[in-house]
C-alpha cells in the first residue's frame, strides 16, 4: 500500500521547493518577519494560506480547537497559544492579529452538546466558549451566531494581554475578527463600529476594531 504522506513529502521537495528555493533561503539568511499573527481553528477545512494568498514567511500561525484565546490571567495554565501571542507581538512585532472562526465548527457544536467523558482536556478547553453560548437549542442559526460571538470574545480577551493593548493603543497593531463561511467561500469580517460581521465582498476594510464595547455588559456578550 503506497505511503501517501511520504509521496507528498517527495512531491514538495521535487516539484514545489525548486520553484521557491530562493525564497526559503532568504527566509533563513534574513530571518522571518511576518506582519500577521493568524489565530485559527484547527479544522482541516480552514486553510489560512489559501484564504489570504500568503507566501511562506508572511503568516505566523496558531491553530487550536475553536480558535480560542486563553485569558491572560493564566487561569487555564501554561498554553502554547498564549506563548505564541507574546512571541508574535513582543519579538516579531506583528502589525495584525487575525482571529478566524468558521461555519460548521465542531468545537462550537461540542461546547453545546458536550465532549466524550474521556476527553478531559477538551472539556476544560471548551469552557473558553461558555460566554459566547446562547441559552437556546443549538440550531444551525444559533451555531452560526455563536461562532461569530466566539470570535468577538477572543478579540476582547486579546485586549487583556498588556503587550497587545499597548501596541493597539499606540497604533502599531490592528486586530481583525473573521468568520469563514466554508460552503460559499466567503469570509465575513467584524466591523466593531457597527457591531456586526460583513461579507468581505461588500466590506470597506478587512475587519477592524480592537475595542468591542458592545461586548462588555455585566461580563456577557450582547446579541449580534
pLDDT in tens, the chain (224 residues): 889 999 999 999 999 999 999 999 999 999 999 999 999 999 999 999 999 999 999 999 999 999 999 999 876 666 899 999 999 999 999 999 999 999 999 999 999 999 999 999 999 999 999 999 999 999 999 999 999 999 999 999 999 999 999 999 999 999 999 999 999 999 999 998 888 999 999 888 887 754 444 443 344 444 45
Domain 32-199 has CATH 3.40.1050.10: yes
Question: In whole angstroms, what is the distance from residue 106 CA to residue 12 CA?
Answer: 30
Burial class (CB in 10 A: 0-12, 13-18, 19+), 126: buried
pLDDT value for 205: 83
pTM over 0.75: yes
Q: Where in the chain is the domain with CATH 3.40.1050.10?
A: 32-199
CB 59, CB 49: distance < 8 Å: yes
CB 215, CB 156: distance < 8 Å: yes
pLDDT value for 154: 96
196-199: strand order across its sheet: 59-64, 36-41, 96-102, 174-181, 186-191, 196-199
pLDDT value for 220: 45
Amino acid at each position: 500500500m503506497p505511503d501517501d504522506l511520504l509521496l507528498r513529502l517527495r512531491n514538495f521537495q521535487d516539484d514545489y521547493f525548486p520553484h521557491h528555493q530562493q525564497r526559503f533561503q532568504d527566509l533563513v539568511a534574513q530571518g522571518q518577519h511576518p506582519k500577521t499573527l493568524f489565530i485559527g481553528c484547527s479544522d482541516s477545512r480552514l486553510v489560512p494560506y489559501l484564504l489570504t494568498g500568503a507566501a511562506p514567511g508572511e503568516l505566523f500561525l496558531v491553530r487550536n480547537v475553536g480558535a480560542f484565546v486563553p485569558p491572560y490571567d493564566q487561569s487555564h495554565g501554561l498554553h502554547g497559544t498564549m506563548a505564541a501571542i507574546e512571541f508574535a507581538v513582543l519579538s516579531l512585532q506583528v502589525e495584525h492579529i487575525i482571529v478566524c472562526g468558521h461555519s460548521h465548527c465542531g468545537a462550537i457544536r461540542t461546547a453545546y452538546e458536550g465532549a466524550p467523558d474521556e476527553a478531559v482536556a477538551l472539556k476544560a478547553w471548551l469552557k473558553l466558549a461558555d460566554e459566547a453560548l446562547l441559552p437556546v437549542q443549538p440550531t444551525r442559526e444559533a451555531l452560526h451566531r455563536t461562532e461569530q460571538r466566539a470570535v468577538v470574545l477572543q478579540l476582547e480577551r486579546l485586549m487583556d494581554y498588556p503587550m497587545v493593548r499597548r501596541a493597539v493603543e499606540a497604533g502599531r497593531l490592528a486586530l481583525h475578527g473573521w468568520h469563514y463561511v466554508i460552503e460559499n467561500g466567503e469570509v465575513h469580517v467584524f466591523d466593531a463600529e457597527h457591531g456586526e460581521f460583513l461579507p468581505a465582498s461588500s466590506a470597506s476594510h478587512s475587519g477592524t476594531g480592537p475595542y468591542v464595547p458592545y461586548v462588555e455588559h455585566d461580563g456577557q456578550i450582547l446579541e449580534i
